[in-house]
Amino acid sequence: MSAAERAAATPTTTVPAALAEPTEPVRGRWVALLVLANLGVWMAFFTPIQVLLPVQIKAIDPAHKESMLGVVTGIGAAAAVVVNPLAGALSDRTAWRFGRRHLWTLGGAVFGALALLVLARQHTVAGVALGWVAAQAGFNAMLASLTAAVPDRVPVVQRGAVSGWVGIPQVLGLVLGVVLVTALVTGNAAGYAAVAVAVVLLALPFTLATPDDRLPRGWRAGRLLAGMWVSPRRYPDFAWAWITRFLMQLGNALATLYLLYFLADRVHYPDPQGGLLVLILIYTAALTATTVFAGRRSDRSGRRKVFVVWSGLVIAAAAVLLAAWPTWPMAIVAAVVLGAGYGIYVAVDAALVTQVLPKATDRAKDLGVVNIANSAPQVLGPALSAPIVVHLGGYPTLYAATAVVTVLGSVLVLKIRSVP
């Protein structure tokens, strides 16, 4: 039985508004403000990973930059694995009189922004790692509450389209972040400060100008730590959705972590940072062209899985292009193909996951568990990528592995039974 069916089977007189299955379509203004808040959090995640951290670590330890970047991003992702579902579970249980989600959204943004300011002043790999862990903690608390906004307020028949819009900031945040720290401000420390200011400013409109349903103080919630486990046997569709997400994101982690170094060391592009920006812009344009369209088509057809399968095949094709032809023209073609495939995946998979959530009372926590499938590959990705690049064939092997993992992840979505 899907989450929607379980909610419908529950007497509405006993369910608080914060836990009821949404039926009223959301308006464009609400979606726009949610997109802005997501834009902030994804800028905060991806801009350091793609630009600021590589530059900072290269300045600290140029001889071991690949390994040290993998260590720092891996430790940060490990923190995300813990914080995201925990913050989601706490927001599920927050009975503040102004609502239960926005406090975590704004508080996470402010904490993460302060952590970035501290991170900018670090001159050792250990200091960078600690600063990035703190930033990850804040931004994952923010992400946990923002992710829950869709199942909290968006009806199932609208979730593909809304998820498409919400998926755009995942790459647009990187584009704007890279432009911000490479073209509009000078220096790594100024880049960190600019991202810190942006994430807070972009979170404010959503938290101050949209409703946040209050959870009654008398509402009984399950035990916090005991509720963190979701039984694969009891909820198999949720488990398969998690595995699919994990493998797809692992492929993404393998492909993107060393992209700046790939352009410099394999493609030999004369301006790697400028080339990275060009590829990101092309990728973003392709993703934007497909994500909302795919989400709406998925809503109208009522089908999700076929879109996920095709998106995985398209993404794998882009990885094969990079593995076989590591040239600048082929990198441009791969950016188009990858953006188109990932755009389809972002919208439809996000909608699919909201339909297999076990309980309305644990939406943010369960989505936090799903978000482990986003974060854990950031731990495993560096552990796999570094030895592949250094010892097992270099970038061609890395991108071939990306293709294999992505195809496997997309095909396993067919194991889900409750969603067509």
Domain that holds residue 146: 26-216+228-415
pLDDT digits (tens, 9 = 90+) for 70-84: 889 889 988 988 999
Q: Write down the pLDDT at residue 372.
A: 86
User: For residue 280, is it within any domain?
Assistant: yes
Q: Write down the pLDDT at residue 141.
A: 96
Only one residue has tokens 């006993």, namely 14
CB-CB contact of 100 with 18 (8 Å): yes
Helix (H, G, I), strand (E, B) or coil at 416: coil
User: For residue 80, is it within any domain?
Assistant: yes
User: For residue 221, is it within any domain?
Assistant: no
User: Which of 256, 314, 258, 247 is CA-nearest to residue 280?
Assistant: 256
The whole-angstrom separation of Cα 105 and Cα 311 is 30
The string over 355-387, giving b where at least 16 C-beta atoms fall within 10 Å of a residue's C-beta and e elsewhere, is: bbbbbbbbbbbbbbbbbbbbbbbbbbbbebbbe
User: For residue 14, is it within any domain?
Assistant: no
14 contact partners, CB below 8 Å, separation of at least 6: none
Q: Write down the pLDDT at residue 6.
A: 52
Q: Write down the pLDDT at residue 220.
A: 56
The whole-angstrom separation of Cα 156 and Cα 310 is 22
CB-CB contact of 191 with 100 (8 Å): no
The whole-angstrom separation of Cα 283 and Cα 160 is 21
Torsional class of 2: left (φ above 0), alpha (ψ -120 to 50), beta (otherwise)? beta
User: Which of 257, 205, 184 is CA-nearest to residue 34?
Assistant: 205
Q: Write down the pLDDT at residue 204.
A: 98
282 contact partners, CB below 8 Å, separation of at least 6: 332, 335, 336, 339
Instruction: Please say whether the dihedral angle defined by the alpha carbons of residues 166, 170, 172 and 176, taken in this order, is positive or negative.
Output: positive
The string over 85-122, giving b where at least 16 C-beta atoms fall within 10 Å of a residue's C-beta and e elsewhere, is: bbbbbbbbbbeeeebbbbbbbbbbbebbbebbbebbeb
Q: Write down the pLDDT at residue 7.
A: 47
192 contact partners, CB below 8 Å, separation of at least 6: 48, 52, 116, 117, 119, 120
The whole-angstrom separation of Cα 100 and Cα 221 is 13
Average of per-residue pLDDT values in the chain: 89
CB-CB contact of 92 with 365 (8 Å): yes
pLDDT digits (tens, 9 = 90+) for 113-147: 999 999 999 999 999 999 999 999 999 999 999 99
Please report, as a single letter, which amino acid is at residue 335: A
Torsional class of 268: left (φ above 0), alpha (ψ -120 to 50), beta (otherwise)? left
CB-CB contact of 19 with 4 (8 Å): no
Q: Write down the pLDDT at residue 8.
A: 46
Please report, as a single letter, which amino acid is at residue 280: I
The whole-angstrom separation of Cα 60 and Cα 125 is 7
How far does Cα 407 stand from its chain's mean position? Answer: 19
Helix (H, G, I), strand (E, B) or coil at 101: coil
The whole-angstrom separation of Cα 417 and Cα 420 is 7
Tally of domains in the chain: 1
Q: Write down the pLDDT at residue 415.
A: 95
User: For residue 17, is it within any domain?
Assistant: no
Torsional class of 393: left (φ above 0), alpha (ψ -120 to 50), beta (otherwise)? left
User: For residue 12, is it within any domain?
Assistant: no
- In DSSP notation, 1-36 reads --HHHHHHTS-GGGS-TTTSPP-SPPPHHHHHHHHH
Q: Write down the pLDDT at residue 11.
A: 44
Low-confidence ranges of the chain (pLDDT < 70): 1-14, 218-228
User: For residue 15, is it within any domain?
Assistant: no
Q: Number of helices (H) and strands (E), helices first, in the chain?
A: 17, 0
Neighbouring CB atoms inside 10 A of 229's CB total 8
Instruction: Please say whether the dihedral angle defined by the alpha carbons of residues 58, 60, 63 and 67, taken in this order, is positive or negative.
Output: negative
Whole-prediction pTM: 0.82
User: For residue 9, is it within any domain?
Assistant: no
- In DSSP notation, 192-221 reads HHHHHHHHHHHHHHHHHHS--PPPPTT---
CATH number at residue 81: 1.20.1250.20
Neighbouring CB atoms inside 10 A of 328's CB total 14
Structure tokens at 155: 């009806």
